[in-house]
Structure 1
Amino acid sequence: MSIARTLMTAAFVASISSPALAAFPDPGMWAIGDEADGKPGRGIQLDRQGGKTLIFTYFGYREDGSATFMQASGQLIGGKTFVGELVEFKNGRALGGPARSGEIAKVVGPIAVTFSSTTTGTITLPGELPQKFGRFQFESNLEGLQNRRFAAATAGPFAYLNAAEVMLDLQGKMLRMELSWGQPQNTCTHTGDLVPAGKGFRSQGVVSCSYENSPTRYRIEDLQVDEYGMLSARLYRGSEETIVTQPQLINITGVCQSKGAVFVGISICRPAELGRDSVDLME
């Protein structure tokens, strides 16, 4: 390996070294324990609008079988914990009824949540033991990951971007991701599982790089390609020990490159290539 290439590779790797960031919970519907069985049940609607404030709306049933909802709100502590009081309400406006303001019926009890990732955690409800708690996924968006190439940029702890190229492909339930950058080109190939996680996916496995003699471990969180073909993900790398305690972090963003014929240059992916209708994306 040339001296210039060695220095370039070292600079790239150094730029992605940083401690893991707090994983803020993904807004949306969350399932409690193993209760997501496809039948009418209970759950949590969690809202977060880019900050630390969380609003939990619990929907479930009373002892007599009638439906109810309760709410708790407060601040996320340390990037992973929440403690609040579940409050039940009454006398609000009914469907088709006149306007009237609801009022507190009673404070039901404390709710405590510990998040282990953006889409998983543990929840303790009033009168119940701690149990698993996870983002409910009702739609799979695999089209954006199937044999797709992206013009991308990577960023570590410093305020600059590195131009890169990302190639994603699925092999059964396994993910293969190639990340390439630099001149001459360096390539890291990531191969591992693919697990649905909220509006995206997570993956973990082995990464082999052209500038390293032996493979290391990786973990990807919040991997997604949105309806406009924009890629985003957080990639963590490290040894068997440091992948958990102090992994290297690289943030990835990119735009999908179309496979269709174009007259000049490479165009972005068309809606049909991502399993969507162009009418759906009209503004």
Structure 2
Amino acid sequence: MNKAMGIRSTVVASVLALASSMGWAARSFTPQAGTWAITEELDGKPGRGLAIDVQGNTFFMQVFGYETNGDATFYTATGQMDGDTVTAPLMQYQGGRSFGSDARDAVALESPGKVTVSFANGLQGTVQFPGEPGRAIQRFEMRSDDYVARYWSAGETRSFLGTTLDSNALAHRQVHINIGKPAQDLQWRVWMRGFHGVPWNTFICTKAADQDIFRCTNSEPQPADGNEPYVQSIALRIVNVDLVAELVVLEQGAVLTYPVMGTAIGGGSGSTITGCAFWLDLYIGDQINCNLSITPSSGTWLVEDEWTFKPGRGMAIDVQNGMALAQVFNYLPSGRPTFHMGSGSFQKAQTQLALNRYQGGRALGGPLQSAELAEAAGDLSLAFLYGGTSSRALSRVRGTVALPNEPQKQMVRMALEPGAADAQGLLGQWWLKFSTLIAPQDTVAVTLSRVEGLEAVSDDGAIRCTRADPAVPRRATCTWIRDGVTSTGYLFQEPGNRSGTVLQVRDRHGNLMGLGAVPLE
């Protein structure tokens, strides 16, 4: 894992320059962080793959693959996105830390050449390695048997927070979407609010076989007066914590199409007087009083005390739909680079995975071939918790890790861009929710376009957000002054920019946070 200062020093100047101008000529999607696969190599057997992490315009990729002699190895690549594409040198290292060894910094080997990655949307793209033609890549998806039983077979309800986008791809209306099968008839339904004059509209749906893709039609007749927009149909797709949808709307005599991007905020069944037990899975995990289970932030993770700005080891962790997949990029006692991989079910906020090392897979420029097991290395234990032992809270970006033959250590989700934890990281377009002591909640779309001191500030200066509480560094407090009255709102902004109560539409560079134009068939 390349933790060299180059990851930051080569990008800081360009990132800060882009952050100062909030023009919207940017990507129409953000690639989903986690494990990606080379499409033609997906055969259900061990092989090579990509751990991709894009934050803002910064791209970081860890490649797990093989040498020509069959030995497992890894490469990294980092650079700045140019539109939907990045070209960067593949880097390889040796001499770093192995399981149970003392601290060791790795040294760079000669680069085998450059890699080019281009994205068509947040789930699909191409990769061209040195000595190879361009090959199609796709986001690797997985679901546990428990997830399939609960959310596909039983049709337990899932809830999403989203936004429609107007013809300029800017925030249009905030929408809430629930999907499930009522027990009385087991018919798939979507309930949506935010687009009509009534609290909720109900849609009757059909589900694609073995996919989280739904096509739905409005079950309620169009109002006779025709004053309100009438959503005729919805097509939607759920991919891990992301929602992509398309609404067909009859509005003022014209049929319009609105794309929707959103994020999962909960799922489950049952209820209590507090409402907490209804959402057994809190995918986002910022509803403080209902933290029962979360999906941690997929992407690049580091052992905290190994963050030395020198080459070392790292992890790619991918948790989705009740499953966890982890790659550890590290070294053998001889110093040779290698990787270990494990997968298994994920419950609540922790898991234990058996790590394996493989051999014999495809090398750069080599023929297509699958790998086989070389060694069972021991167990990897992950827990996504922070705080003291007596009062620990769930976290999407912090946790503990126990590697084979090593004690438990603190780990942290890697932030690729400077300023991610201060006001710079709050810039972009958001749906924010505000309230006063005497007024109801009010949700508005706002662009936080500049930094003044410790605050991210809206275009007109009326809304100001700051990370004011050092005890909760990921939480920001926002104030909105209107007609002499101050309203207050809160947001939780983390790598991936997921939150259960507010939604980030665009990042500080103007890139849309959703998956873009992914297939809905």
Q: Give the shorter-chain TM-score range.
A: 0.5 to 0.7
Separation (CA, whole Å) in 2 of partners of 1:152 and 1:138: 20
Alignment of 1:55-204 (within 5 A): 55-78=60-83, 80-140=84-144, 141-142=147-148, 143-144=150-151, 146-149=154-157, 154-157=162-165, 164=176, 166-169=178-181, 177-179=190-192, 181-183=196-198, 186-193=201-208, 201=212, 203=213
Per-residue CA deviations over 1:236-270 (Å, capped at 9, x if unaligned) read 2359xxxxxx95123445755764364x4855425
Q: For 2:96, what is the secondary structure of its paired residue?
A: coil
Separation (CA, whole Å) in 2 of partners of 1:220 and 1:21: 21
- The size of the alignment, in residue pairs, is 241
Contact 1:175 1:194 in 2 (8 A): no
Separation (CA, whole Å) in 2 of partners of 1:278 and 1:97: 31
Per-residue CA deviations over 1:189-233 (Å, capped at 9, x if unaligned) read 44352665xxxx4x26464464569997754344456xxxxxx52
In structure 2, the residue matched to 1:248 is: 258
Task: Decide which moves more: 90-99 or 57-66.
Answer: 90-99
In structure 1, the residue matched to 2:51 is: 45
Contact 1:204 1:217 in 2 (8 A): no
In structure 2, the residue matched to 1:9 is: none
Q: 1:184 to 1:133 in 2, by over 3 A?
A: closer
Contact 1:151 1:257 in 2 (8 A): yes
Separation (CA, whole Å) in 2 of partners of 1:150 and 1:58: 33
In structure 1, the residue matched to 2:236 is: 220
Separation (CA, whole Å) in 2 of partners of 1:251 and 1:164: 11
Contact 1:258 1:266 in 2 (8 A): no
In structure 2, the residue matched to 1:15 is: none
Corresponding letter in the other structure for 1:233: L
Alignment equivalent of 1:271, drawn from 274, 280, 300: 280
Separation (CA, whole Å) in 1 of partners of 2:267 and 2:48: 41
Contact 2:271 2:278 in 1 (8 A): no
Q: 1:192 to 1:66 in 2, by over 3 A?
A: same
Q: For 1:106, what is the secondary structure of its paired residue?
A: coil
Corresponding letter in the other structure for 1:191: T
Per-residue CA deviations over 1:48-98 (Å, capped at 9, x if unaligned) read 3x42212111111111112211110012332x3222111122232344444
Task: Decide which moves more: 100-109 or 87-96.
Answer: 87-96
Q: 1:91 to 1:51 in 2, by over 3 A?
A: same
Separation (CA, whole Å) in 1 of partners of 2:217 and 2:27: 21
Separation (CA, whole Å) in 2 of partners of 1:251 and 1:266: 26
C-alpha displacement at 1:126, in angstroms?
1.0
Q: For 2:143, what is the secondary structure of its paired residue?
A: coil
Q: 1:217 to 1:132 in 2, by over 3 A?
A: farther
Q: For 1:34, what is the secondary structure of its paired residue?
A: helix
Are positions 1:36 and 2:42 aligned together? yes
Corresponding letter in the other structure for 1:59: F
Separation (CA, whole Å) in 1 of partners of 2:48 and 2:31: 19
Separation (CA, whole Å) in 2 of partners of 1:188 and 1:132: 35
Q: For 1:129, what is the secondary structure of its paired residue?
A: coil
Separation (CA, whole Å) in 1 of partners of 2:177 and 2:171: 19
Separation (CA, whole Å) in 1 of partners of 2:172 and 2:231: 27
Q: 1:130 to 1:208 in 2, by over 3 A?
A: farther
In structure 1, the residue matched to 2:381 is: none
C-alpha displacement at 1:234, in angstroms?
2.8
Q: For 2:137, what is the secondary structure of its paired residue?
A: strand
Contact 2:61 2:76 in 1 (8 A): yes
Separation (CA, whole Å) in 1 of partners of 2:35 and 2:51: 5
C-alpha displacement at 1:108, in angstroms?
0.9
- The TM-score normalised by the length of structure 2 is 0.38
Uncovered stretches (5+) of structure 2, i.e. residues with no partner: 1-25, 224-229, 250-255, 282-291, 294-321, 323-345, 351-384, 386-391, 394-521
Separation (CA, whole Å) in 2 of partners of 1:153 and 1:147: 19
Corresponding letter in the other structure for 1:260: G
C-alpha displacement at 1:151, in angstroms?
6.5
Q: 1:44 to 1:182 in 2, by over 3 A?
A: same
Separation (CA, whole Å) in 2 of partners of 1:267 and 1:128: 52
Per-residue CA deviations over 1:112-131 (Å, capped at 9, x if unaligned) read 11222322221111111111
C-alpha displacement at 1:178, in angstroms?
4.2
Corresponding letter in the other structure for 1:220: L
C-alpha displacement at 1:135, in angstroms?
1.9
C-alpha displacement at 1:103, in angstroms?
1.6
Q: For 1:271, what is the secondary structure of its paired residue?
A: coil
Uncovered stretches (5+) of structure 1, i.e. residues with no partner: 1-19, 226-231, 240-245
Separation (CA, whole Å) in 1 of partners of 2:237 and 2:81: 20
